């Protein structure tokens, strides 16, 4: 019956929307590289020693615990406190485990063993009982206060030691990183208790799903504090994102705000981290061996030799983090590197005068210095590029001043090199080094191994090629192409007009090589200059390689840089680079950045259909099908233009003052604009996706009611349609009071769920009764017609109670189906706090704070009344016309204020439901309808 109310064109449209949404979801969940992280293993059995907390603290936080990680002999030795190492505290995230510390803890222990425990780290971990703090923010403040107490407890474990620490380093995974930042907002917290903060896949900018006001308030408190106190915060912070593999927390949310006064914060995507170069999902970021090795190396380089603790020097901290996480020069970190190096010994000095040079080292016995005179090259070329496949950490390239054939000392240029997966490379602009007379490449003596060193001089314009990207709406039907004919080693492909998050492309690189006997490797690096989100692709040539190109962060308005495809190529190969728009990836970007707002658009569409049903009941006396009204009423032009107009008017001072005077919250479109996420067509796409979801959700709901009613009929024969309508039955007040008590004493979401089951029971019962009536009508049509005439004989409700006919029952069922669709989404949005309450039921019987309690107090009596409401008692109401006009502005309000704040959405839904319930009491024939009791 539901499908019959939709024509084939609309059905085809909804099927098309499902297909498009599936493409977007596929790109988000599967459209990325395979997991290239190596698993980190423990060499000995991991042990977690529980740290005894003060009794008052343990009583105040019964669900939380503190542990010390250890393995083997280290764990045995440290069972007897105090400790002697450097404390590091690991904070798990949403539904995380304290045992996730084992990966980095084990790697750090192996590193300490390698240096004979000259330095070592003690890794602590907090057990938050797997709380769902990304979905329920009521416990975030409690976690923050507990971590503060843990830090003080940890430092007490080192009392009396020669090098007792005064602060701890914190590693926070997911929401654990936000809790660590929140420590600074506590009144009694001393900032010097934390000396370093590393966060992994932490959504710093905004919550992934803002399902309650507690989590948004927490975010506002933390971010506002860090912005307003940027000058006074000296905490060195590193945020590492997982890249496109992490579909739970998109990387754009992990980037710390760039403040001019706050320079001690770095944000980077794991695919850009040297020696890591892989994307990680939300969980593998804590065990990915490549990333954990990088983190541990950085931690050991941060140790101050005098204090045997992490250095307090902020410049050194930032220098170490830059070295390991931003640009690695293929050398061990040195705080004050020697710029001048001695070039001595019995080495050969070989002059090279050509502009392009290659040297293949096999089993040489002597060291060789190759010298390149720069005087002649400066007249012709602008840059010099060198690369080496010898990935040791020794200095390998130098600059000589005023030299003819050899020099005793040279400027060590190796610190300006960059480490890549298969080579280390260096590009110099010659005019930046006017004092250099020679470039010197050092080839060490080797035994049994092979490596290749290449150098070439070039003009910048010959290696920088502009490639405009294809238009957003080309849908991959058109492409743009460049061919690299010259035999260079390095190219920069400038991707013009590429800077928005909704742009997504596929770049195809086809390499063709001539007379290639050995395997050759090329590296393609997508470089985004306005954020550290680079990604690398390694290809064996000749081959055809596809590179997905999309952004985590949009290009800032005041940034004029151009995204680059850096190609480290072979001189024996020709490369053809083609770019075309990827429609599936564009849809993936829409889902990735705006998928959390979809419930708001679904509810907005249902509200429009609900308003249409109420108006059809007022104007014609009959309620039309939900699917019919969805096709007729759920139109984007009824919602989006109003939101755009309000956003435009808020640009005027007088309107903004009037807006603030009315105490209205900030428009969600402005919030999205501040995050470079506001694009007019996105709202249209989301509205179409929302309408599609509302349609198929209505189909599922209608089918479920029919199946349950059939099951009801199979188990128990229901009574016939009610002969008299009683809005307030004798048991209704008792049921309402019981549910309100349940909400007050336990959890508001639990009471809402029970109310939902009650309302569904009423609908199933009505459907079963109507089915029974129709079956009996088929068996005995004459008797049914007499009953129908008898029930309709008395039309004056002032004389006789209201009676329910079959047509009224069908109208009522249509209306109830739409109301149940709305109620379903309210229940879904309240589920996280219910799950949190159930998980912590052994500790707390009452959820406090409870984000759903105020809603439950209003929704319970409203739905109790609506469960006994029929169209026959509503269509004569004076309030019906007004009620039918409310859903339209409320549908606009849902998009304007609920797309980025989902917890506000139920507030817009219960208003028309409440007015609908009140229609039973305000009738055209008098102040009150008959048949209430």
E strands present in 444-571: 451-458, 464-468, 480-484, 490-496, 505-513, 520-527, 535-541, 544-549, 563-568
Q: CA dihedral defined by 223, 225, 231, 232, rounded to 10 degrees?
A: -130
Q: Characterize 387-422 residue by residue with b for buried, 16 or more Cβ atoms within 10 angstroms of its Cβ, and e for exposed.
A: bbbbeeeebbbbbbeebeebbeebbbbbbebbbbee
Q: Please report, for residues 454, 515, 536, the alpha-carbon distance to residue 361 in angstroms, rounded to integers and kept in the order given.
A: 11, 21, 27
Q: Rounded distance, CA 727 to CA 194, Å? A: 62
Number of H helices, E strands in the chain: 27, 30
DSSP β-bridge partners for residue 383: 429, 458
Q: What does the alpha-carbon distance between residue 800 and residue 794 come to, in Å, rounded to a whole number?
A: 7
CB 584 within 8 A of CB 859: no
d(CA 863, CA 857): 11
Query: Minimal CA–CA distance to 809: which of 877, 709, 910?
Result: 709
DSSP state letters, 443-458: E---SS--EEEEEEEE
Tell me how long the chain is: 933
* Angstrom distances, CA of residue 60 to CA of 142, 782, 839, 847, 885: 10, 73, 18, 15, 51
Cα-based angle 548, 550, 552 (whole degrees, multiple of 5): 135
Cis ω on the peptide bond leading into residue 849 (within 30° of 0)? yes
∠ CA(241), CA(245), CA(247), 5° rounding? Answer: 85
Are the C-beta atoms of 454 and 387 separated by less than 8 Å?
A: yes
Whether 286 and 242 have beta carbons less than 8 Å apart is answered as no
Closest listed residue to residue 192, CA positions, set 158, 161, 167 = 167
Q: What share of the chain is helix, strand, coil (3-state, %, to 5)?
A: 45, 20, 35
What's the CA gap between 539 and 521, in Å, rounded? 6
> Known catalytic residue: 174?
yes
Residue 524 near residue 277 (C-beta atoms within 8 A): no
Catalytic residue among 174, 279, 522, 676: 174
Burial of 731 (0-12, 13-18, 19+ CB in 10 A): exposed
Other C-beta atoms lying within 10 Å of the C-beta of residue 375: 8
Phi, psi of 452 (to 5 degrees): -125, 135
Angle at 678 between CA 676 and CA 683, to 5 degrees: 155
Is residue 784 within 8 Å of 792, Cβ to Cβ? no
- Do residues 584 and 23 lie in contact, with contact meaning Cβ atoms separated by under 8 Å? yes
Instruction: Give the span between the Cα atoms of 455 and 575, in whole angstroms.
Output: 20
Write the CB contacts of 611 (distance below 8 Å, at least 6 apart in sequence). Answer: 633, 884, 885, 886, 887, 888, 891, 912
Q: What is the DSSP string of 176-245?
A: HHHHHHHGGGSTT--GGGEEEEEEES---SS-SS--SHHHHHHHHHHHHHHHHTGGG----EEEEE--TT
Q: What backbone torsions phi and psi does residue 710 show, to the nearest 5 degrees? A: -65, -40
* Residues designated catalytic: 174
């Amino acid at each position: 019956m539901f499908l019959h109310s939709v024509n084939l064109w609309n059905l085809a449209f909804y099927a098309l929307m499902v297909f498009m949404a599936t493409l977007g979801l596929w790109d988000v969940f599967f459209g990325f590289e395979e997991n290239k992280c190596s698993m980190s293993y423990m060499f000995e059995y991991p042990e977690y020693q529980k740290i005894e907390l003060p009794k008052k603290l343990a009583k105040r936080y019964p669900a939380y615990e503190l542990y010390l990680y250890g393995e083997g002999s280290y764990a045995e030795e440290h069972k007897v406190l105090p400790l002697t190492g450097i404390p590091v505290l690991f904070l798990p995230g949403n539904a995380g485990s304290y045992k996730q510390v084992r990966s980095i803890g084990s790697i750090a222990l192996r590193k300490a063993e390698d240096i004979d425990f000259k330095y070592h780290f003690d890794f602590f971990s907090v057990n938050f009982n797997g709380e769902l703090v990304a979905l329920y923010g009521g416990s975030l403040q409690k976690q923050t206060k507990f971590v503060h107490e843990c830090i003080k407890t940890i430092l007490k474990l080192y009392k009396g030691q020669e090098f007792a620490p005064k602060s701890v380093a914190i590693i926070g995974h997911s929401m654990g990183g936000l809790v660590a930042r929140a420590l600074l907002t506590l009144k009694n917290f001393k900032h010097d208790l934390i000396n370093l903060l590393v966060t992994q896949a932490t959504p710093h900018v905004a919550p992934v799903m803002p399902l309650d006001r507690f989590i948004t308030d927490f975010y506002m408190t933390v971010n506002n504090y860090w912005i307003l106190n940027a000058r006074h915060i000296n905490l060195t912070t590193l945020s590492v994102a997982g890249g496109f593999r992490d579909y739970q927390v998109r990387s754009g949310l992990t980037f710390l705000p760039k403040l001019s006064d706050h320079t001690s914060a770095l944000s980077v995507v794991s695919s850009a981290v040297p020696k890591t170069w892989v994307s990680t999902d939300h969980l593998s970021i804590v065990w990915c061996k490549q990333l954990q090795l990088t983190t541990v190396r950085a931690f050991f380089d941060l140790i101050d030799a005098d204090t045997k603790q992490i250095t307090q020097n902020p410049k050194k901290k930032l220098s170490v983090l830059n070295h390991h996480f931003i640009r690695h020069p293929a050398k061990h970190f040195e705080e004050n590197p020697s710029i001048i190096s001695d070039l001595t010994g019995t080495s050969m000095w070989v002059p090279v005068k050509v502009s392009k040079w290659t040297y293949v080292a096999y089993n040489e016995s002597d060291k060789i210095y190759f010298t390149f005179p720069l005087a002649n090259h400066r007249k012709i070329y602008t840059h010099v590029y060198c690369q080496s496949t010898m990935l040791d950490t020794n200095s390998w390239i130098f600059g000589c001043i005023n030299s003819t054939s050899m020099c005793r000392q040279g400027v060590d240029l190796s610190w300006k090199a960059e480490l890549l997966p298969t080579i280390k490379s260096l590009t110099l602009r010659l005019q930046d080094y006017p004092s250099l007379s020679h470039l010197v490449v050092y080839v060490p003596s080797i035994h049994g191994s092979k490596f290749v060193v290449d150098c070439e001089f070039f003009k910048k314009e010959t290696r920088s090629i502009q490639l405009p990207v294809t238009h957003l709406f080309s849908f991959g039907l058109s492409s743009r192409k460049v061919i690299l004919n010259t035999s260079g080693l390095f190219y920069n492909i400038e991707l013009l007009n590429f800077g928005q998050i909704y742009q997504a492309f596929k770049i195809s690189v086809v390499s063709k090589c001539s007379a290639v006997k050995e395997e050759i490797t090329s590296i393609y690096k997508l470089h985004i200059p306005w954020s550290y989100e680079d990604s690398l692709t390694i290809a064996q040539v000749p081959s055809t390689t596809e590179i997905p190109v999309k952004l985590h962060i949009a290009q800032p308005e005041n940034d004029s840089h151009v995204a680059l495809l850096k190609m480290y190529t072979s001189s024996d190969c020709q490369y053809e680079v083609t770019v075309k728009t990827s429609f599936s990836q564009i849809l993936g970007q829409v889902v990735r950045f705006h998928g959390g707002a979809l419930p708001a658009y679904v509810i907005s569409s249902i509200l429009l259909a609900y308003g249409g049903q109420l108006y059809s009941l007022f104007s014609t006396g009959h309620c039309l099908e939900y699917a019919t009204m969805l096709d007729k009423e759920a139109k984007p032009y009824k919602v989006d233009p109003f939101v755009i107009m309000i956003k435009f008017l808020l640009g005027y001072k007088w309107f903004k003052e009037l807006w603030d005077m009315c105490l209205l919250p900030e428009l969600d479109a402005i919030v999205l604009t501040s995050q470079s996420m506001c694009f007019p067509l996105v709202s249209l796409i989301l509205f179409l996706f929302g309408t599609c979801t509302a349609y198929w959700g209505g189909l599922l709901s209608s089918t479920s009611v029919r199946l349950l009613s059939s099951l009801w009929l199979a188990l128990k024969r229901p009574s016939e349609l009610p002969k008299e309508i009683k809005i307030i039955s004798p048991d209704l007040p008792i049921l309402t009071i019981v549910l309100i008590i349940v909400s007050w004493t336990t959890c508001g979401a639990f009471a809402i769920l029970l109310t939902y089951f009650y309302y569904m029971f009423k609908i199933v019962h009505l459907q079963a009764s109507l089915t029974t009536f129709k079956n009996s009508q088929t068996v005995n049509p004459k008797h049914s017609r007499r009953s129908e005439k008898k029930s309709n004989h008395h039309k004056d409700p002032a004389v006789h109670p209201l009676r329910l006919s079959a047509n009224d029952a069908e109208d009522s069922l249509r209306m109830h189906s739409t109301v149940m669709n709305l109620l379903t989404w309210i229940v879904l949005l309240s589920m996280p706090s219910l799950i949190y309450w159930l998980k912590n039921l052994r500790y707390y019987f009452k959820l406090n704070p409870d984000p759903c309690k105020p809603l439950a107090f209003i929704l319970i009596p409203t739905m109790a009344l609506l469960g006994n409401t029929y169209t026959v008692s509503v269509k004569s109401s004076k309030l019906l016309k007004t009620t039918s006009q409310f859903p339209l502005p409320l549908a606009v309000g849902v998009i304007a204020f609920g797309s980025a704040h989902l917890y506000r959405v139920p507030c817009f839904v219960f208003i028309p439901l409440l007015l609908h319930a009140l229609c039973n009491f305000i009738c055209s024939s008098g102040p009150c309808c008959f048949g209430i009791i």
